[in-house]
Structure 1
Amino acid sequence: MSGYKRTRRQHQKQLIALENRLKAEMDEHRLRLQKELETHANNTYIELERLAKRHAAQTDKEIKSVAAEERRIQQQIVAQQKKELANFLENQKKEYRFCKDKIKEEMSEDPCTPKDEKYERLSRHKETIQRSQAEEESLLLDQQRLVYERSCRALKRRSLVRKHEFEQEQLREELNKKGTQKDMEHALMIRQDESTQDMERRQLHMLQKLRTELMRLQHQTELENQEEYNGRRQRELHRKHTLEQRQQPRNLKMLEMQIKRQFQDTCKVQNKQYKALRNHQLEVSPKGDHKSILKSLKEEQTRKLAILAEQYEQSINEMMASHAMRLDAEQEAECQALKQQLKQEMELLDAYQRKTKSQMETQHEREQQKLEQKVSIRRAHLEQKIEEELVALQKERTERIKHLFERQDRENNTFDTESRCLGFGSLGSLDFPKEDSR
């Protein structure tokens, strides 16, 4: 039994050692998963920071590019207007010379007109032409200034639209990046949950397998111990019966000696009685009858002793036969009782083992159901968390796009209102000179 208890303690130690090892393995697994999530979160933060810096650099570059393009277009407009003004002034000079020459020709064809009148007439005509050209030049400058201001305003309007498109593109890229990172995080969480499920099922299988194997060994040990116990009990009973069989002749001899002593004692008593009877008969009988009396008494004594000896011999034989039969019956009864007892003990052991095995199987089924329920609940919580995060991300996306469009609409409306206040109409139909290809 001490060996059986030692085996039970060893089995318990093995189960505890396996449970501790599996617990340490699960703790290490969860720590590794936590580090993976933290690493992913850090990488996401770094990538978003890198994207924000890249957007800031792109914004600065875009601002500089827009400013450079505005300066280029303004310079082109100014150069074009200068060229137009120079052509206009050149045409005015040509027209002035042409008109002057024409007047001189007309005046030379009229010799009757006095010279002073011709000079005065020529001066008035010059003043008229110069005044007309000055008005035309002023009108052209006003038109050029208006075109320049309108072009600059339209250019700012186009730059504002371009800025808005650039902001929309950056916001779209940022939101798509966040969505991609969130999808990667969710995929990682699902993959981690699946790996945790696999580990939990594998660990439960290992624990139940070891528990089943230890119970099998325990039942085998119990059965071997019971069989050894049965064999020992049977051997002990066999040795006892063998010893009884060996001791039976000695016991019978002792009983026989006891019966013989009783027979001898009886014979002595009868001899005493015979002597007393003989003496009495001799005293009361005549002396001539003594011989016949002695003979008859002797014969009677011999006959009775023979009968008594036969009775004692028969008693010895009956005693030996009954004792042998009783010993065989007792031994057979003991064998049957032991056999029945060992059979009952074996049946009790079998029933106990089947009961413990059934309890263990029930426990395993309960553990399996508990694990599946735990896995199902955890997966449902994970899916709910993912759904909530997706809804929150979509809400953030919608709100940020809405706020961006609202701000851009306000900027557009403010700009258009200022443009109308400055006297500019629609600014979307102007064409700007393109940059010369180098």
Structure 2
Amino acid sequence: QKQLIALENKLKAEMDEHRLKLQKEVETQANNAYIELEKLAKRHAVQTEKEMKTALADEKKFQQQIVAQQKKELTTFLDTQKKQYKLCKEKIKEEMNEDHSTPKKEKQERLSKHKENMQHSQAEEEAHLLAQQRVFYERNCRAFKRKVMIKRHDVEQEQIREELNKKKTQKEMEHAMLIRHDESTQELEQRQLKTLQKLRMDLIRLQHQTELENQIEYNNRRERELHRKHVLELRQQPKNLKVLELQIKKQFQDTCKVQTKQYKALRHHQMEVTPKAEHKTVLKALKDEQTRKLAILAEQYEQSINEMMASQALRLDEAQEAECQALRQQLQQEMELLNAYQSKIKMQTEAQHEREQQKLEQKVSLRRAHLEQKIEEELGSLQKERTDRIKHLLERQEREIDSFDMESMRLGFSNLGTLDFPKDDYR
């Protein structure tokens, strides 16, 4: 029992150490996952800030390109107007020089009016060009902002998908680790149960072997004690027979004395009633009769002695044999009871081991089912989070685009998404 308790304590300590190790591994995994997500969030923040700075720089560069191009167009336009104005002016002068019928003052008025008309027309054309350039500038800047916003949306989508993929990968690694932990725990539980059951069976086997050896030793001791008792009885038998022989001898002597007294009394009586001449014959007859009876008594005495000795020897043999038989039956019954008891203990232990094995299998199966349910729920929750976050992001981005497009339409710009930009203008 002490060995079982010591082993149970040892196995419990081993299991506690195993669970502590697994718990530390889970905590390490969780900490590493948290650190990885923190690093990813920081990298995304840096990437977003970099994209914003790049977008601002690209927008400024794009605006500068448009302004430079428009300045160039305006300069070319003004140069063209000057040339046209000069050509028209020279042409009018030639026409007026060829016209000698028109007074000079009228010619001067016509020239001034023509100059004024040309200047007014060129001013309108310049204003129209500037208005077109302003609309072009504002429209393209607005479209560029829309492109930047769409690119920012793409980056946001890429970042959230990267984050969600990272979470999914981490969760899959966590689940694989939990399954590995469950399998290692199951292996340890099975090994510990086998170790405990083996020790229990070894102890029972050792106990049964000890009990059997003790029973055999007890049987041998009882048989030796009975044998010594019988030997002692055999040694005591001559003394007992001598006592009985003395008792028979005393009875014989007493009988002889009685017969002697009877003989004397009979002889005295016969002497009195028998004539003196016949005394000798009567005495001889009485003596012969006495001798015959004493011989018969002696023969009976010897026969009694022999019968007594034979009877006592037979009784001793029968008693000893009966004792031996009774002892053998008793010892056999005790051995059968011991075997039955040990068989019962063994069967009970085997049944207990079977129940323990079934209980462990049920425990392992239930724990695995809970783990699989937990994994399924966490994956479902993670998928829901993925769907919801992407949905909310896309809805927010769609609202931003709609709001931007509505503002653009209010400003008079539409179909900004159809404008194309050179790759150098927008990265």
TM-score normalised by length of structure 1: 0.94
RMSD: 1.6
1:7 aligned partner: none
* Counterpart among 206, 210, 217 of residue 228 in structure 1: 217
Secondary structure of 2:418's match? coil
Distance 2:235 2:95 in 1: 184
1:141 aligned partner: 130
* Counterpart among 239, 260, 267 of residue 256 in structure 2: 267
Distance 1:273 1:258 in 2: 22
Q: Which amino acid aligns with 2:338?
A: L
Q: Which amino acid aligns with 1:338?
A: L
Secondary structure of 1:54's match? helix
Q: Is 1:196–2:163 an aligned residue pair?
A: no
Query: 1:108 offset after TM fit, Å?
Result: 3.1
2:7 aligned partner: 18
C-alpha contact 1:278 1:297 (8 A) present in aligned 2: yes
Tell me: CA distance 1:434–1:373, structure 2 relative to 1, closer, same or farther (3 Å): closer
2:65 aligned partner: 76
Query: 1:171 offset after TM fit, Å?
Result: 0.9
* Counterpart among 353, 372, 393 of residue 404 in structure 1: 393
Secondary structure of 2:129's match? helix
* Counterpart among 171, 177, 186 of residue 182 in structure 1: 171
Q: Is 1:95–2:95 an aligned residue pair?
A: no
1:383-394 superposed matches below 5 A: 383-394=372-383
2:410 aligned partner: 421
Q: Is 1:313–2:302 an aligned residue pair?
A: yes
1:130 aligned partner: 119
Distance 1:218 1:28 in 2: 33
Query: 1:385 offset after TM fit, Å?
Result: 1.1
2:196 aligned partner: 207
Distance 1:359 1:134 in 2: 116
Number of residue pairs matched?
Answer: 426
C-alpha contact 1:259 1:316 (8 A) present in aligned 2: yes
Secondary structure of 2:417's match? coil
Distance 1:72 1:361 in 2: 87
C-alpha contact 1:55 1:170 (8 A) present in aligned 2: yes
Distance 1:401 1:363 in 2: 56
Query: 1:183 offset after TM fit, Å?
Result: 0.9
Q: Is 1:327–2:313 an aligned residue pair?
A: no
Query: 1:170 offset after TM fit, Å?
Result: 0.9
Distance 1:406 1:237 in 2: 105
Distance 2:423 2:373 in 1: 55
Distance 2:10 2:153 in 1: 60
Listed as ranges, the gaps of 5+ residues in structure 2 are: none
Q: Is 1:287–2:276 an aligned residue pair?
A: yes
* 1:7-28 deviation line (CA, Å, top 9, x unaligned): xxxxx00001011111111111
Distance 2:34 2:120 in 1: 72
Secondary structure of 1:432's match? coil
1:8 aligned partner: none
2:152 aligned partner: 163
1:60 aligned partner: 49
1:346 aligned partner: 335
C-alpha contact 1:278 1:294 (8 A) present in aligned 2: yes
* Stretch deviating more after TM superposition (246-255 or 55-64): 246-255
1:4 aligned partner: none
Secondary structure of 1:423's match? coil
Tell me: CA distance 1:408–1:436, structure 2 relative to 1, closer, same or farther (3 Å): closer
Query: 1:206 offset after TM fit, Å?
Result: 0.5
Q: Which amino acid aligns with 1:197?
A: Q
Query: 1:113 offset after TM fit, Å?
Result: 4.1
1:361 aligned partner: 350
C-alpha contact 1:22 1:203 (8 A) present in aligned 2: yes
Query: 1:163 offset after TM fit, Å?
Result: 1.3
Q: Which amino acid aligns with 2:174?
A: E
Q: Which amino acid aligns with 1:318?
A: E
* Stretch deviating more after TM superposition (200-209 or 117-126): 117-126
Query: 1:114 offset after TM fit, Å?
Result: 4.0
TM-score normalised by length of structure 2: 0.96
1:5 aligned partner: none
Query: 1:282 offset after TM fit, Å?
Result: 2.0
* 1:18-48 deviation line (CA, Å, top 9, x unaligned): 1111111111111211121122111111111
Secondary structure of 1:425's match? coil
Q: Is 1:173–2:162 an aligned residue pair?
A: yes
* 1:259-312 deviation line (CA, Å, top 9, x unaligned): 112211221222222222222222333333222222222111111111001001
* Stretch deviating more after TM superposition (380-389 or 425-434): 425-434
Query: 1:436 offset after TM fit, Å?
Result: 7.8
Distance 1:363 1:106 in 2: 131
* Stretch deviating more after TM superposition (121-130 or 55-64): 121-130
2:93 aligned partner: 104
C-alpha contact 1:73 1:433 (8 A) present in aligned 2: no
Distance 1:247 1:114 in 2: 195
Distance 1:106 1:432 in 2: 50
C-alpha contact 1:44 1:181 (8 A) present in aligned 2: yes
* Stretch deviating more after TM superposition (24-33 or 362-371): 24-33
C-alpha contact 2:267 2:286 (8 A) present in aligned 1: yes
Listed as ranges, the gaps of 5+ residues in structure 1 are: 1-11
Query: 1:186 offset after TM fit, Å?
Result: 1.0
1:49 aligned partner: 38
Q: Is 1:378–2:367 an aligned residue pair?
A: yes
Query: 1:58 offset after TM fit, Å?
Result: 1.1
Secondary structure of 2:416's match? coil
Query: 1:315 offset after TM fit, Å?
Result: 0.7
Distance 1:30 1:19 in 2: 16
Query: 1:105 offset after TM fit, Å?
Result: 2.6
